[in-house]
């Protein structure tokens, strides 16, 4: 009977093969060759999940060398089909010129008790090993996971969302189009606010808005690096770059204007404009900044606060090619360029784009 089944497969007479298998399986259900032909029948009838399951079971239950080779070849064929289908879907997703724009895929936090299940699902979608995938899934804050054509990011993102893995994707050109205004000081404040500021090209001016337009406050700390002379293990002098200080930043989002109003501790003129706190020579920058932040919080109590920048930065700082395409709009005097500035703009800008995307 097995020879007749084999001959039917050679002739591609799958109807006959199916009838023979159905008859023979009643007689010898545990025959490994019969299990192989059943898997082969699933394969040719496009029941690929059942075929894969049958082939994998054979690898566990038999030591017959010819059957093992055939089962592995079957799994290889199924994998090639899966890869071809995936590539066709990606090509289709990126065929529209707008979907060829640069994009990013970001993973959102997932609870610890769901990580094992989610890692298994994600590893199947992204074709990675489960252990590594589990380490990639963030417990808090965002993780910059992939960079590429936005159509491809959407393709993977939709599959991940379907598997209940929280994520989203953003077009980089949308971040590049955001207006950024550096606030020097608040000139007056009521329901309508006026600030003295500089735009992206450092041109001075003023801007008037309503506090009700502010939907989010994005907090961040950026390091200041200096070259110092240090003594190494061999008692030799050498130059090193070390973090000497930090600057505090706060972005106020105006999604209706696609704009960010940026404050930072060493750039705000505390002696000018609205008297937020009585400034004296004894006041430190930290005291003045904390007072400014408390005042802003009182004015926009409903605005959501985002303060996980540093955990996001850990996952984004190495994407130098991406960050080179993000105008930082940060006016820090630096001896050398650093990816930290563009990373903060990427974080804050991504939030603003996401706000605009989710707006009713």
Q: What is the pLDDT of residues 298-346, one digit of tens each?
A: 999 999 999 999 999 999 999 999 999 999 999 888 878 899 999 999 9
Residue 224 has pLDDT above 80, yes or no: yes
| 172 Rama sector, left if φ>0, alpha if ψ -120 to 50, beta otherwise | alpha
Residues 133, 137, 143, 149, CA torsion sign: positive
pLDDT-derived band at 194, boundaries 50, 70, 90: very high
pLDDT-derived band at 188, boundaries 50, 70, 90: confident
Q: What are phi and psi of 49, to 5 degrees?
A: -65, -40
Residues in the chain: 360
Half-sphere exposure of 167 (CA within 13 A, CB side): 27
Q: Closest by alpha carbon to 173, among 121, 120, 99, 246?
A: 99
Task: Please report the pLDDT score of residue 171 as a whole number.
Answer: 95
Task: Please report the pLDDT score of residue 44 as a whole number.
Answer: 83
Euclidean distance between CA atoms 249 and 113, whole angstroms:
34
Task: Please report the pLDDT score of residue 346 as a whole number.
Answer: 98
What pTM value is reported for the model? Answer: 0.78
DSSP state of 256: G
Euclidean distance between CA atoms 279 and 274, whole angstroms:
12
Q: Mean pLDDT lowest for which of 43-47, 56-60, 355-359?
A: 355-359
What is the SS3 assignment for 318? coil
Give 27: exposed, middle or buried? Use CB within 10 Å, 0-12, 13-18, 19+: exposed
Euclidean distance between CA atoms 335 and 27, whole angstroms:
81
What is the SS3 assignment for 269? coil
Domains and CATH numbers, the chain: 2-92 (1.25.40.10), 97-174 (3.30.1390), 179-342 (no CATH)
Query: From residue 256, how far is each of 117, 118, 188, 326, 359 by CA, in Å?
Result: 39, 35, 21, 21, 9
Q: What is the mean pLDDT of residues 60-73?
A: 86
């Amino acid at each position: 009977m097995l020879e007749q089944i084999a001959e039917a497969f050679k002739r591609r007479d799958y109807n006959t093969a199916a009838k023979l298998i159905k008859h023979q399986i009643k007689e010898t259900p545990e025959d490994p060759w019969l299990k192989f032909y059943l898997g082969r029948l699933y394969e040719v009838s496009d029941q690929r999940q059942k075929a894969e399951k049958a082939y994998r079971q054979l690898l566990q239950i038999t030591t017959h060398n010819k059957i093992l080779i055939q089962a592995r070849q079957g799994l290889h064929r199924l994998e090639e089909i899966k890869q071809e289908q995936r590539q066709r879907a990606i090509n289709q997703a990126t065929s529209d010129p707008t979907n060829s724009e640069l994009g990013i895929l970001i993973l959102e936090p997932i609870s610890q008790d769901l990580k094992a299940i989610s890692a298994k699902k994600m590893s199947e979608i992204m074709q990675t090993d489960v252990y590594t995938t589990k380490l990639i899934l963030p417990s808090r804050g965002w993780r910059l996971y992939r960079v590429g054509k936005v159509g491809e990011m959407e393709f993977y993102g939709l599959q991940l969302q379907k598997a209940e893995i929280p994520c989203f994707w953003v077009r980089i050109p949308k971040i590049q189009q955001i207006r950024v205004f550096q606030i020097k000081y608040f000139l007056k404040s009521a329901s309508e606010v006026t600030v003295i500021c500089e735009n992206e090209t450092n041109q001075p001016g003023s801007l008037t808005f309503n506090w009700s337009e502010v939907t989010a406050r994005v907090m961040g700390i950026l390091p200041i690096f200096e070259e110092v002379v240090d003594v190494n293990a061999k008692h030799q002098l050498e130059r090193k770059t070390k973090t000497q200080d930090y600057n505090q930043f706060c972005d106020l989002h105006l999604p209706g204007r696609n704009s960010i109003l940026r404050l930072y501790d060493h750039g705000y003129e505390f002696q000018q404009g609205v008297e937020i706190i009585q400034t004296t020579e004894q006041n430190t920058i930290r005291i003045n900044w904390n007072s400014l932040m408390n005042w802003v919080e009182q004015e926009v109590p409903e605005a959501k606060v985002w303060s996980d920048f540093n955990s996001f930065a850990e996952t984004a700082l190495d994407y130098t090619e991406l960050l080179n395409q993000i105008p930082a709009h940060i006016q820090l005097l630096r001896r050398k360029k650093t990816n930290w500035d563009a990373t903060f703009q990427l974080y804050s800008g991504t939030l603003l784009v996401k706000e605009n995307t989710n707006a009713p």
